[in-house]
Amino acid sequence: MDQRVLFGVCLPLFANPGVFTFRTPCYETLDPQDSLTVARLAEDLGYDSVWVADHLMLGRDGAILEGWTTLAVVAGQTRRVRLGTIHLCNGFRSPALVAKMAATLDALSGGRLIFFFDAGWRREEFVAYGYSWEDDAVRLARLLEALEVVRRLWTGGPVSYAGQYYRLDQAVCRPQPVQRPHPPIWLGEARHPLLLEAIARYADGWNSVPASPRLYAEKLAAVRAACARLGRDPATLELSLETQV
């Protein structure tokens, strides 16, 4: 497996709310142009990837740019850096639509998308925007189905699917992504058995939020154990850590 260490930058889609450890560049105010400036600068400096958050209200005064829209603009202003979502919330969009949006972005960017998906975790955003807030088990069960839907749409079609939460009837996702068999799927954390199952079954990469060496090792051990239970070689999983600089 590739042993290179790669570096990415999270773009300042929102301003710091006055918390030193808040995981964003410590900009005091939100200027939409800053995200584009940082993306171009990251590419010029040799960074490997740029990342956008996917929240509806976050940071100072709840002001944040919408992630997909920002990433599409960044794709048009860069040529080399990979384009990542950190993390794309399954609860805000239908997974079939997400598959279509992601395939389009991958095609228009020349195959640079990193698809980092999650179940959502900020209850206040769901409630404020009129989305149903469900417990961890339900949100993660939805995530498992959503991953299956997205991957099927990216790799074949027409797709029919009848799950507990999502249904498709001869859905087509064309043009398909440039990256084959599909853009890399990333998942994060290791806090729930269903999430560990999703990582072992679907993920090409796994990410941890900032953690001490001891805590990171504990989470990684749980991920590797989940891979072993499903007969997957954990060495096939790319590993990542968020940190403050």
CB 151 within 8 A of CB 185: yes
> Given phi > 0 = left and psi -120 to 50 = alpha, else beta, which region is 99?
alpha
CB 155 within 8 A of CB 225: no
The pLDDT value recorded for residue 17 is 80
Q: What share of the chain is helix, strand, coil (3-state, %, to 5)?
A: 40, 15, 40
Mean pLDDT, residues 62-67: 95
Residue 244 has pLDDT above 90, yes or no: no
Residue 140 has pLDDT above 80, yes or no: yes
The pLDDT value recorded for residue 1 is 58
Domain residue limits, the chain: 8-241
The pLDDT value recorded for residue 24 is 66
Among the ranges given (135-139, 165-169, 190-194, 235-239), the one the predictor scored with the smallest mean pLDDT: 190-194
How does strand 159-162 pair with strand 167-171? antiparallel
Segment 74-86, tens digit of pLDDT: 999 999 999 999 9
Architecture label for domain 8-241: Alpha-Beta Barrel (3.20)
**Axis crossing angle, helix 193-202 with helix 213-229, rounded to the nearest 10:** 70
Segment 102-130, tens digit of pLDDT: 999 999 999 999 999 999 999 999 999 99
